[in-house]
Every structure is written in C-alpha cells, then in structure tokens.
C-alpha cells in the first residue's frame, strides 16, 4: 500500500523497516474510535467552511460504510498498512475519491492517534470500573452471608484476634471501592481532547476545537498543542490505577490460595474455577487465583515499560510513544479477565464455618479479651497484659484453652477472676463486643454492607 507521507522521501523503505515501524497489528482495535473521530472532524471542517457540506457528507457516509464493513468482517485491516489511521484514510479515498483526501486537513496523525487512544481508554476505563463493581457486589453478598462466621484474624500470618469472615471480605471490598474511585478520577484526565493540536504547533486554519471535542463527548481540550500530542500521562495513570487494582486482587488471590488449602480448609472453590494434577489424582489446584497473582507482575511490567519509554523524551511527538499502546492494551485486557474470573470464583465458593471456628479456638486469639476483662476488674492494662500472657502459658503447658481452663487455675494467677471470665473469653462474645465503627462484630459488618450498597447506588447514579 502506498505510503501517505511520500514526498520528502521516496517511501521505498526496507520490508524489515516496514514491519518494524507498523502498528496496525495492535492499533486496529481502535478502528471504531478512529472513524468516530474522523466523522466529528469532517463535521467541524464543514462547519468552519474548510470543506463543503457535500464533501463532508460524502466523507461521513464513506466512513460509516467502512465501520460497518470492518465490524461485519467484509473488510479486514491490511497488515501491510502502517497503522489503522492510514488504512481507513486510504480505503476512504478509494471509495469516495478526492473528498477523502481532504479529511486530514487541519490535523496530524500525532493528534489523531492521541485522540483515538483517549477515546478508546475512556471506554476501557468504564468497562474496568463496571467489572470491579461486579466483583465488589459478589464480595459484599458473600460478606453479608457470613457476617457472623467466626475465623481467626492474622498479623504476621500468625493467629491474632477473632474476626468474622464477612469482615475479612469487606476489607477487600474497601480496597476495590478505592480502585473504582481512582479510575473515576483518572477518567477525567483521559477525557480531554487533543484533536486540533496537529503535529505539534496547531494549525493555520480557522478551526473549532471545542466544537469537535464536544461532538466526541470530551470535557475539554488540551490547552497546549505541544503537550497535547506528546502527553501520555493518562496512559501511565491508567496503568498505575490498574496496577494498584491488580495488587489488591493479588492479595485476595493469596488469601484464596491459603484459605482453600488443606492446612486451612476455610473455603472450598468450585470445580469450575480449579484444575487437577496430571499425576496426583487427589489434587484440586487454585490455578485461577495463582494466575491472578502471577499476572499482577505482568501489569507492573506494563507500567514500568511506559514510564521508561517516556522518561527521556524531548518535545513533542517521538516514535517511541508508539510503544504505549501494546502495554496499556495488555494491562486493560489482563485486569478485565482477572476481574471476571475472580467474580465467578467468589460467587461459587463455599465457606466452612466450622473449620474457621475450630482454627479460631486453637490460637489463644481471645487473650486480648482476657486482658480487657482484667482491666474491667480494676487491674492496670500492662499488668493485665502480663497476667493474660501467663495464663496462655499455663494453658499451653496443661493442654487447655482459655475457654476450658478451670477456674481454680485462673485464680492462681489472679484472685479477682470469677466465673464470668468464661463469657468474656467466649469467641462469640469477643467478636460481638467489637462493635466500634468499622469493627468486626456481626452488627458492624451489617452496617458496612449497607454502607457499601449505598455507595454502589451512588456510583450507579453517577454521583
């Protein structure tokens, strides 16, 4: 296919260079955005008297026919073409003649590429948010179902204090809610139009950038043409938001792997979201969770790749910037798939409440509650803390837990301890009394669920 930039050079580049330079194999996914942008550009050119209304009408009809043909598979982007923008312009000219050559007036591939990418990523951001909300709903539903299921809470991966499983799941919900908020903020900076910045310096034609931006649903325009064509902050920010989201998914994946292991046995994953072993018939492997954990590193790589590409570039556009697309496309594709898989995995998993409670009973995780009980008896906290530790040691040596240690043995450590100690160290009491704002009690979990559902309603209404 003849190159659109023939003139200063012959255009007879080496085949190896053509392949090296081409981006159509990955930027063709933006064909709909490119056509939509070109339709708006033709409309603006006609409105400003730069082309005639008839020419604009021919251009728009030609572009619409190309969109339909690509979507239906009748027309396939030519892999020998440099990029999707060139391909569409070339086909348009072949179909409608000279009017097609006027479409590129008052724009450059530099601002055209930036425009297409911003429109495409705007849609990707909305889709990622939607999938994140689906996972949030799945986790919230599961948290509500298990608002009173007792499990050990951990610090340093050591049993620490009793919590409810609903409380644990809601911690991840809160992480994901922040991710949704970050994506919303990021979208605002994506939704700024660069079209009309042209190659780098603007144009000599009397154009209306604001009109064109409004036609395409942008909130505003890039105020500096040099920045408009060379800025890829929005790409970096989006991959950054996705990286944080993937980090949260990776943490949840790690918990899922642990919780579903035989050593924990807290949850059971559906056969639909696990695999087996080729040699060990007893295995049920949490491969989906492990893959999410692994793909997090891949997305981090996408982020660092674009940061590295951009770190030393002078103004304005440089061909290096073409390397942004494969990275951001990969990050978007990866996180969407991970969110879909996790939503299905959470919806179909089952919870073993007895196994969780059994684990909670073995770790002396109610020792803090014993100390609090002693404080209630008038003993200073630090003294109570020491007495509680000595009680745990006494239990460990004699094969008891705090709930079963005989009262006479309690009294050897502190004569203020009475029979009401057993209620104080009961695991159900321990979680029920932690009813502070954001705490682990069943009532607190219900309030957190209600709060999340309210926030989701506001997200749905666009507030």
Q: Which residues are catalytic?
A: 156, 277
Give the H or E element holding residue 161.
strand 158-164
φ/ψ of residue 154, rounded to 5: -125, 145
Q: Is 21 left (phi over 0), alpha (psi -120 to 50) or beta?
A: alpha
What is the sign, positive or negative, of the torsion defined by CA atoms of 285, 288, 289, 294? Answer: positive
End-to-end CA distance of the chain: 49
What are residue 163's DSSP bridge partners?
151
What is the sign, positive or negative, of the torsion defined by CA atoms of 354, 356, 359, 363? Answer: negative
- 192 secondary structure, DSSP code: E
φ/ψ of residue 202, rounded to 5: 85, -160
Give the closest residue to 45 by CA, choosing from 34, 58, 31.
Answer: 58
Q: CB 151: neighbour CB atoms within 10 A?
A: 30
Question: Residue 286 to residues 134, 176, 293: CA-CA distances in angstroms?
Answer: 21, 22, 11
- 155 secondary structure, DSSP code: E
Q: At what angle do helices 165-190 and 233-259 cross, to 10 degrees?
A: 170
- DSSP code string of 304-372: HHHHHHHTTPPSS--GGGGGHHHHHHHHHHHHHHHHHHHHHHHHH-EE-HHHHHHHHHHTTTTHHHHHH
φ/ψ of residue 332, rounded to 5: -65, -45
Give burial (CB, 10 Å; 0-12/13-18/19+) of 7. Answer: exposed
């Amino acid at each position: 296919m003849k190159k659109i930039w023939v003139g200063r050079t012959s255009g007879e580049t080496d085949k190896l260079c053509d392949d090296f330079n081409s981006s159509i194999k990955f930027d063709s996914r933006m064909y709909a955005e490119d056509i939509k942008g070109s339709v708006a550009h033709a409309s603006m050119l006609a409105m400003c008297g730069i082309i005639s209304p008839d020419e604009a009408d021919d251009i728009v009809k030609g572009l619409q026919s190309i969109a339909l043909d690509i979507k239906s598979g009748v027309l396939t982007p030519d892999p020998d073409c440099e990029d999707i923008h060139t391909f569409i312009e070339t086909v348009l000219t072949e179909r409608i003649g000279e009017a097609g050559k006027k479409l590129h007036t008052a724009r450059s591939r530099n601002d055209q590429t930036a425009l297409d990418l911003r429109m495409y990523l705007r849609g990707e951001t909305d889709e990622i948010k939607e999938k994140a909300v689906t996972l949030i709903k799945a986790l919230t539903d599961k948290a509500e179902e298990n608002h009173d299921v007792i499990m050990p809470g951990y610090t340093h991966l050591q049993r620490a204090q009793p919590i409810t499983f609903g409380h644990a799941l809601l911690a991840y919900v809160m992480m994901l809610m922040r991710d949704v908020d970050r994506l919303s903020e990021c979208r605002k900076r994506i939704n700024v139009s660069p079209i009309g910045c042209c190659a780098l310096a603007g144009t000599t034609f009397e154009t209306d950038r604001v009109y064109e931006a409004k036609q395409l649903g942008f909130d505003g325009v890039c105020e500096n043409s040099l920045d408009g064509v060379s800025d890829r902050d929005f790409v970096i920010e989006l991959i950054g938001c996705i990286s944080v989201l993937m980090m949260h998914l990776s943490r949840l994946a790690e918990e899922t792997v642990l919780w579903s292991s035989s050593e924990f046995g807290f949850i059971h994953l559906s056969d639909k979201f696990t695999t087996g072993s080729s040699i060990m018939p007893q295995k049920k492997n949490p491969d989906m969770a492990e893959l999410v954990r692994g793909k997090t590193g891949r997305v981090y790589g996408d982020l660092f790749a674009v940061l590295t590409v951009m770190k030393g570039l002078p103004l304005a556009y440089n061909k290096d910037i073409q390397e942004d697309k494969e990275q951001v496309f990969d990050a978007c594709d990866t996180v969407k798939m991970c969110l879909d898989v996790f939503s299905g995995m959470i919806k179909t998993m089952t919870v073993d409440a007895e196994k969780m409670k059994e684990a909670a009973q073995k770790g002396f995780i109610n020792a803090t509650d014993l100390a609090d009980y002693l404080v209630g008896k008038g003993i200073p906290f630090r003294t109570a803390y020491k007495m509680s530790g000595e009680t745990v040691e006494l239990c460990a040596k004699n094969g008891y837990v705090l709930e079963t240690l005989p009262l006479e043995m309690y009294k050897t450590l502190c004569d203020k301890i009475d029979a009401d100690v057993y209620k104080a160290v009961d695991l159900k009491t321990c979680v029920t009394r932690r009813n502070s704002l954001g705490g682990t009690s069943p009532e607190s979990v219900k309030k957190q669920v209600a709060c999340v559902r309210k926030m989701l309603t506001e997200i749905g209404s666009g507030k």
